[in-house]
């Protein structure tokens, strides 16, 4: 009875909740003043979720075509997740991992991650977000070169349009102007190289192989300009995510890795999106033949039921850290919540679901149908420049003119209007920065009906934004 009463009270206070929120909270990527004053509408109060669907407090059911922020890989509302979290919280919600303390779920999860990771991975350092895990990677890389007596080998190469997070260091790595402007993200130790997007980056007539050669030449030129003895690491997402869902051109990763090896530059694979099944493999590096020295994971590690990330450390870095340890003393890095037992329990339960339901294999099997559905429905539209994707990631990029690849004027806000129109129809998509790009990354559990719904609602959205085309 008390639950019913609570629910009724919650529903009855929705308007107040909106007001409370607007007057209390700063939201990521939300206009501050207009939102706060209620001019943009909202907030959207999301109340519950089940499978690939969420429900708002005012009773709208929406298919979540972006799995939250491509993180709810196993879908919403899993009772086994709630049970695992409750059981651990009841037994031991928290203890720290400093000075050699651990808990059963943390130890087991670290082992489990290493079992799934490439063979050269040796240890796992837990954090809470993709951003803090990338910060950890940079500190590890700097520490490694200090131990090796190479105090100048410190710069990190990231890529234009790469996304690595929003902490001070991670936003510096992120190759997007708006993450830097206004925030003084320190640019000193970070360099950005060419984004491997053939559609926009290739010169006229240049095929994929030619474009890969250009990306490699650009990287070589950057290294030559800066000096390999000043560059510690290269960080990249196996499939570029927030920058536009861009699968690499064939042969890109092996060619890039060869350059890095020649110059003794470590490779950090940012697998925050790709890790744990999104592209039909355990990790994106498995799909593209990369052998990273360090791997960053978050999102799909717990399917976002609780926050958890990890910096996975490979043999090359681990062996140096380990050998220097007697001389250096305890590893001086960590967070109160590193290896949080309840978050680790969520991670284990999530990986159990993934294994029990063969979700990674399922993505590999379903991906051809998923990709073909987008190609068939949208590639021929006069305002579609490119349909691209891999695994269960897909993007449609819109242009004003296909032949000249002329973009729409920014003021037309085509991407935002398309995602708003899809939302009207009950489908959540993501309008990605850097052009008019609609992104799709649903929970890995969607079925054919859900896919049909996504395609139909996207078609209707396009028809409403481009009437008569
Ligand atoms: N790295 C990548 C590739 C991401 O996509 C993200 C988030 O979208 C991050 C890092 C940052 O993760 P978080 O938002 O958990 O800090």
Lowest mean pLDDT: which of 311-315, 366-370, 465-469?
A: 465-469
Per-residue pLDDT reduced to its tens digit, 391-438: 999 999 999 999 999 999 999 999 999 999 999 999 999 999 888 999
- Determine the Cα–Cα distance for residues 435 and 195; give it in Å rounded to an integer: 14
Within 10 A of 129 (CB to CB), how many other CB atoms are there?
A: 18
Q: In angstroms, what CA-CA distances link 99 with 45, 334, 343, 365, 463?
A: 42, 11, 20, 45, 60
Pocket of ligand 1 from Cβ distances under 6 Å: 69, 129-131, 134, 163-165, 237, 241-242, 270, 272-273, 298
Within 10 A of 310 (CB to CB), how many other CB atoms are there?
A: 27
- State in Å: Cα 267 to ligand 1 middle: 17
- Determine the Cα–Cα distance for residues 397 and 389; give it in Å rounded to an integer: 11
Examine the pLDDT at 7 and tell me if it is beyond 50: no
Strands annotated E in 223-326: 231-236, 266-270, 294-297, 309-314
Q: Helix %, strand %, coil % for the chain, to 5?
A: 45, 15, 35
| Percent of the chain with pLDDT strictly greater than 70 | 97
pLDDT band at 288 (very low <50, low <70, confident <90, very high): very high
- The first and second tokens of residue 4, run together, are 């019913």
Q: How far is CA 238 from the centre of its chain?
A: 11
HSE at residue 90, side-chain half, CA atoms within 13 A, is: 6
- Over range 11-23, report the average pLDDT: 76
By CB atoms closer than 10 A (0-12, 13-18, 19+), residue 336 is exposed
Check residue 308 and report its DSSP letter. Answer: -
| Percent of the chain with pLDDT strictly greater than 90 | 93
Per the model's pLDDT, the better-predicted residue between 249 and 185 turns out to be 249
H or E element: which one contains 159?
strand 155-159
Torsion of CA 11, 420, 387, 203, to 10 degrees: -130
Which residue of 165, 273, 306 sits with most ligand 1 atoms within 8 Å of its CB, as the best mutation to test the pocket? 165
- Over range 207-215, report the average pLDDT: 98
- The first and second tokens of residue 98, run together, are 């400093």
- Which residues are bridge partners to 300 per DSSP? none
pLDDT score of 9:
53
Could you tell me the end-to-end alpha-carbon distance of the chain, in angstroms, rounded to an integer? 54
Per-residue pLDDT reduced to its tens digit, 218-236: 999 999 999 999 999 999 9
- State in Å: Cα 309 to ligand 1 middle: 10
- Determine the Cα–Cα distance for residues 60 and 404; give it in Å rounded to an integer: 40
What average pLDDT does the structure give for the chain? Answer: 95
Check residue 381 and report its DSSP letter. Answer: S
- State in Å: Cα 136 to ligand 1 middle: 13
- Over range 136-146, report the average pLDDT: 98
pLDDT score of 187:
81
The ipTM, to two decimals, is 0.99
Per-residue pLDDT reduced to its tens digit, 44-71: 999 999 999 999 999 999 999 999 999 9
- The first and second tokens of residue 74, run together, are 């196993």
């Amino acid at each position: 009875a008390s639950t019913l009463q609570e629910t009724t009270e919650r529903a009855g206070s929705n308007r107040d909740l909106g007001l409370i929120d607007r007057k209390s909270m700063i939201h990521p990527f939300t206009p501050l003043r207009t939102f706060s004053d209620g001019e943009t509408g909202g907030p959207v109060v999301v109340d519950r979720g089940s499978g690939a669907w969420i429900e708002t407090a005012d009773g709208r059911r929406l298919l979540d075509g972006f799995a939250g922020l491509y993180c709810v890989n196993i879908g919403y509302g899993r009772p086994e997740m709630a049970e695992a979290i409750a059981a651990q919280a009841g037994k031991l919600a928290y203890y720290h991992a400093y000075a050699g303390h651990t808990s059963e779920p943390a130890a087991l999860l670290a082992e489990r991650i290493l079992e799934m990771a490439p063979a050269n991975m040796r240890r796992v350092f837990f954090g809470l977000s993709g951003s803090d895990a990338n910060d950890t990677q940079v500190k590890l890389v700097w520490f490694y070169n200090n131990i090796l007596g190479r105090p100048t080998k410190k710069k990190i190469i990231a890529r234009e349009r790469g996304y690595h997070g929003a902490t001070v260091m991670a936003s510096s790595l992120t190759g997007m102007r708006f993450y830097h402007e206004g925030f003084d993200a320190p640019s000193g130790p970070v360099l950005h190289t060419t984004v491997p997007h053939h559609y926009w980056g290739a010169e006229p007539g240049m095929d994929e192989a030619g474009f890969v050669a250009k990306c490699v030449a650009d990287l070589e030129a950057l290294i030559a300009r800066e000096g390999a003895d000043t560059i510690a690491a290269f960080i990249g997402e196996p499939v570029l995510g927030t920058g536009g869902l861009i699968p690499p051109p064939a042969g890109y990763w092996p060619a890039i890795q060869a350059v890095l090896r020649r110059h003794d530059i470590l490779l950090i694979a940012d697998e925050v999106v790709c890790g744990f099944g999104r592209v039909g493999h355990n990790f994106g590096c498995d799909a593209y033949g990369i052998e990273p020295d360090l791997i960053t994971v978050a999102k799909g590690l717990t399917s976002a039921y609780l926050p958890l990330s990890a910096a996975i450390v490979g043999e090359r870095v681990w062996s140096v850290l380990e050998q220097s340890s007697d001389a250096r003393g305890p590893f001086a890095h960590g967070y109160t919540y590193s290896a949080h037992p309840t978050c680790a329990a969520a991670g284990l339960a999530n990986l159990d679901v993934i294994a029990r339901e063969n979700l990674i294999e399922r993505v590999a099997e379903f991906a051809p149908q998923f990709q073909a559905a987008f190609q068939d429905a949208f590639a021929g539209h006069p305002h579609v420049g490119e349909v691209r994707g891999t695994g269960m990631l897909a993007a449609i990029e819109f242009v004003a003119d296909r032949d000249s690849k002329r973009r729409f004027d920014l003021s037309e806000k085509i991407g935002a209007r398309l995602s708003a129109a899809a939302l009207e129809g009950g489908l959540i998509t993501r309008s990605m920065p850097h052009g008019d790009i609609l992104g799709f990354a649903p929970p890995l559990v969607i079925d054919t009906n859900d896919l049909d719904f996504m395609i139909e609602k996207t078609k209707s959205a396009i028809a409403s934004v481009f009437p008569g085309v």
